[in-house]
Structure 1
Amino acid sequence: MRLSRLLTTALAGAVLAGTGLVAPPTVSAAPAAASAPLACLASDADIYTAPDRITGNPGDLLSCRRTELPQIPGNVPMKAWKIKYVSTDVKGNKIAVSGFVAIPDARWTGGGSRPTVAFTPGTLGSGGQCALSKQMAGEQVDSYEAGNLRRFLEAGFAVAASDGVGYMTGQVHTYTVGLNAGHALLDAVRASRQIPGGSLTADGKVGIAGYSEGGFNTLWAAQLASSYAPELNVVGAAAGGVPGDLKLVAERLNGSAFAGFLADAVVGLSAAHPEMPFDELLNDRGRQAVEDVRSNCLFGTLGAFAFQRLENFSTDRLSLEQIYALRGSTGRTWGEVIDDQKVGVGIGPASSAARYKIGFPVYQYRGALEEIIPHEAEDGVFDRYCAAGITTEWRTYAGEHLTTDWLASGDVTRFLGDRFAGRPPVNDC
């Protein structure tokens, strides 16, 4: 069924994107946990409360709590924990991020230590109640990732899932800020190995996976891995529905049935970049729109912003091009900020002098009936990866945006399993 029909009947929508903006901090060695908890006894409220002061290193486990994940189908026997851990934001500041870790009870028989999938979800919405760790633990709103998680766990892979930056109480999700997302995803793996009573070890292989917003986040984590988390043995990344050029995506979304994704992006980027003009541009409708984004999950946001244009929310009815020309206090324009988000820029193989070195193969895919993200934005990422010499497997599925996420899940699991087993990759470049 076409996603547009799902939106009309039940607002069963889809996902978008995330990237980062400035040069990543370099981490030369594995960060040691300065004060890891001795037991997972945190309250649920504590998991989502940011400390007043954070002194740990990226990936340090701050607190944890045993949990169940009833939304994941199949009754896969597992142990699971909600976690709060240290990460690094786009400005280089230490921040707290939430997520969860799940480890199958079945013994790993694939050789070596059990591998981990670093997982990042597609768009769930910016309200605090939308966090993936809350939804999988039973507070279901409108997440659609449970089947993908089931496949990983049934294959014997552990899952270290990041909610993403901005799901602490009183914050807003920094949607489409890839440095935030990439750092948080890599740090979730680090934290997963510090859980009291957990069984994951430092030598376990790591795969990264996500679709749409999660696909953008996945490829930012792939770009950052060698500089930000060189101690992690990342062996592959699988990313689909990737909005590789946010300007192309914004043009498609503005005034469309899926304009809610653009609203999430505008609010997320402004939250991460307070130096850029934003609040002073808003009219009364714009101020209400920000509150709508901050309070809604996916389908609520899609419903609130369907067919709305960005121009309606600023005092001067600013177009996208006019917004891109605005400068912040550092002298940079919004257009430069958005251009810095383009996925696959500055990448190269591990032996290269590229800014972002990627030393492992990548799986990319999209739907033939994609109706949200321009094909040029998705295909452009594949083209840039091939031009950079990154081994990339490519697949197009006979689905629209949402169903492609599910259609690809078996191949994503297969791709990661092949990487964990050391099998030779396919290169479609």
Structure 2
Amino acid sequence: MSGRSASGRAAIGRVALAAVCALAGAGIAAPAAARAATPGVCAAADADIYRPPDGAPAAPGDVIACREVGSLPMVVTSTPYRAWKLRYGSTDGRGRPAVVAGTVIEPLTPWTGPGKRPVVAFVPGTLGIGPQCAFSKQLAGEYQDAYEGANLAALLDAGYAVAVTDGAGYLDGQVHPYVVGADAGHAVLDIVRAAPDLPGGGVGAGAPVGIWGYSEGGAGSLWAGQLAASYAPELDVVGVAAGAAPADLKQVAANLDGGMFAGFLVDAVIGLASTHPGLPFDELLNDRGREAVRDAESLCAVGTVTRFAGARFTDYTKDRLTLDQIYALKAPDGTTWSEVADANRLGVGVGRPGSGARHEIGFPVLQYRGLLDEVIPAETARANRQAYCAAGIPTEWTAYAADHLLGDSLAVRDTVTWLTDRFEGRTATNDC
């Protein structure tokens, strides 16, 4: 971990620069628009939004607590809006009740399109796995190294309401289950269910829904799309846009281990262990490994990349286990690390409505990536696209001359246009 190449330092610098630019942008132009909170309506204390469950479970999509916020410093737009933080009921990947936090933003400009104002469920990219990194906190101006405020502003400028889940595991004392598919997908779908129930809000029940995310958010978006028909069939999902999704965790792990973005691998192993406590994990770690876990849970995106640049997971285990050796290890019930990783692979069991597939998808999908992406291997993206195409799901493919970081920002305009086409009922391009 001590030797870093010039290209490696440049990669770290690009990630750090993204955070600096997000902060600088927020400081240059305050969002023109947010209306002051209405007293007595969605007026929970901020601490209540992040309180872990302490009573009877809430139904998926139920609003447990909410707080109208006056402005979101990360969202720089001339479009007037209202914004709420909320805590809402969801379901974890094993079907157990869960509670998640997030943000709903509604433009105050009149909706002039047909029907109800559409809502886009936006799924943030990698932020870190500790509760201090929650996207709702960063949007509201707390500790920041998030980088997707411009994505939200573009959606608001297009007239769409936005429902942004933090994702599971960002309440006080929790650990985010990084890249765990069902937890992510449920959290996305449930914030859309919750949005119409915000007191004083104007997001309409039954509004058309688009889903969008990049990187970790791309995986969460695709998982929401795969689970929508079975988990939230009442939602009118019209399309899913997903960029640079880590579709096959094993392929991505092999690419990350020892590389400049090895911190994402550390987060992923901790995330999988948090949702499968029976898997051997703590007992495998040496002193460096235990320190790595503590650091990963205390750092957000930029700190994680910097801290773990060049790290190899074998250095964190007592017996210097390789990833393949770890995959073979079993929980007491016989479940292996390999099986858990494979259970989170996208594109498995997908099909058209009426096909009898495990995940029936009745809407088009946009998948995209940067041609120079150093985080998500090309074969992972290619295989996921092929799986969707083979299942007969209309799939549009776009590639940008960009690395992983720039691929997110370069796709904003195209993705908002693609979502607009879905909301307006235009026939989707199918590149299969």
Shorter-chain TM-score: which interval?
Answer: over 0.9
* Equivalent pair of 1:6/1:12 in contact (CA under 8 Å): no
Of 408, 412, 428, the residue aligned with 2:415 is 412
Tell me if 1:341 matches 2:350. no
* Equivalent pair of 2:12/2:305 in contact (CA under 8 Å): no
Of 239, 242, 247, the residue aligned with 1:239 is 242
Q: Which amino acid aligns with 1:7?
A: A
Of 98, 101, 108, the residue aligned with 1:98 is 101
Tell me if 1:308 matches 2:308. no
* Equivalent pair of 1:62/1:85 in contact (CA under 8 Å): yes
- SS class of match (2:56): coil
Q: Which amino acid aligns with 1:376?
A: E
User: Offset of 1:167 from its aligned partner?
Assistant: 0.5
Q: What is the TM-score of this pair, normalised by structure 1? A: 0.92
Which residue in the other structure is 2:45 paired with? 43
Q: What is the TM-score of this pair, normalised by structure 2? A: 0.92
User: Offset of 1:74 from its aligned partner?
Assistant: 2.0
User: Offset of 1:280 from its aligned partner?
Assistant: 0.9
* Equivalent pair of 2:12/2:306 in contact (CA under 8 Å): no
Distance 1:9 1:421 in 2: 40
Distance 1:8 1:370 in 2: 14
Residue range with higher mean Cα deviation, 189-198 or 66-75: 66-75
Tell me if 1:111 matches 2:114. yes
Which residue in the other structure is 2:386 paired with? 383
Distance 1:89 1:196 in 2: 26
Which residue in the other structure is 1:55 paired with? 57
Which residue in the other structure is 2:13 paired with? 9
* Equivalent pair of 1:13/1:402 in contact (CA under 8 Å): no
Which residue in the other structure is 1:261 paired with? 264
Q: Which amino acid aligns with 2:383?
A: G
Distance 1:44 1:12 in 2: 28
Tell me if 1:197 matches 2:213. no
Of 186, 191, 200, the residue aligned with 2:189 is 186
Distance 1:55 1:242 in 2: 31
Residues 358-377 of structure 1 mapped to structure 2, 5 A cutoff:
358-377=361-380
Q: Which amino acid aligns with 1:375?
A: A
Distance 2:77 2:9 in 1: 28
Q: Which amino acid aligns with 2:248?
A: D
Which residue in the other structure is 1:248 paired with? 251
Tell me if 1:206 matches 2:195. no
Distance 1:3 1:183 in 2: 38
Q: Which amino acid aligns with 1:9?
A: G
- SS class of match (2:101): strand
Residue range with higher mean Cα deviation, 246-255 or 5-14: 5-14
- SS class of match (2:166): strand
Distance 2:274 2:161 in 1: 32
Which residue in the other structure is 1:290 paired with? 293
* Equivalent pair of 1:152/1:158 in contact (CA under 8 Å): yes
Q: Which amino acid aligns with 1:66?
A: E
* Equivalent pair of 2:226/2:359 in contact (CA under 8 Å): yes
Residues 142-181 of structure 1 mapped to structure 2, 5 A cutoff:
142-181=145-184
Distance 2:332 2:175 in 1: 22
Residues 415-426 of structure 1 mapped to structure 2, 5 A cutoff:
415-426=418-429
Q: Which runs of 4+ in 1 moved over 2 A?
A: 2-15, 53-56
Relative distance call for 1:248 and 1:195 in structure 2 (3 A) is: same
Higher RCO (C-alpha 8 Å, min separation 6)? 1
Relative distance call for 1:44 and 1:257 in structure 2 (3 A) is: same
- SS class of match (2:88): strand
Relative distance call for 1:177 and 1:8 in structure 2 (3 A) is: closer
Relative distance call for 1:14 and 1:248 in structure 2 (3 A) is: farther
Distance 2:18 2:349 in 1: 29
Tell me if 1:399 matches 2:402. yes
Q: Which amino acid aligns with 2:146?
A: S
Relative distance call for 1:362 and 1:13 in structure 2 (3 A) is: farther
User: Offset of 1:330 from its aligned partner?
Assistant: 1.6
* Equivalent pair of 1:13/1:299 in contact (CA under 8 Å): no
* Equivalent pair of 1:13/1:302 in contact (CA under 8 Å): no
- SS class of match (1:351): coil
Q: Which amino acid aligns with 2:210?
A: G
Distance 1:4 1:121 in 2: 24
Distance 2:98 2:56 in 1: 7
Distance 1:298 1:182 in 2: 21
Q: Which amino acid aligns with 1:50?
A: P
Of 125, 129, 141, the residue aligned with 1:126 is 129
Residue range with higher mean Cα deviation, 70-79 or 234-243: 70-79
* Equivalent pair of 2:79/2:109 in contact (CA under 8 Å): no
Give a deviation string over 1:33-76, Cα, whole Å, max 9, x none. xxxxx931111111001121233211111010011212111242
Which residue in the other structure is 1:327 paired with? 330
* Equivalent pair of 2:278/2:332 in contact (CA under 8 Å): yes
Distance 1:375 1:54 in 2: 45
* Equivalent pair of 2:252/2:380 in contact (CA under 8 Å): yes
- SS class of match (1:164): coil
User: Offset of 1:86 from its aligned partner?
Assistant: 0.4
* Equivalent pair of 1:48/1:169 in contact (CA under 8 Å): yes
- SS class of match (1:395): strand
- SS class of match (2:16): coil
Give a deviation string over 1:349-369, Cα, whole Å, max 9, x none. 112110000000000101111
Distance 2:120 2:332 in 1: 39
Aligned residue pairs total: 406
Q: Which amino acid aligns with 2:129?
A: S
Which residue in the other structure is 1:32 paired with? none
Which residue in the other structure is 1:34 paired with? none
Tell me if 1:85 matches 2:85. no
- SS class of match (1:172): coil
Relative distance call for 1:54 and 1:14 in structure 2 (3 A) is: farther
Which residue in the other structure is 1:21 paired with? none
Q: Which amino acid aligns with 1:404?
A: G
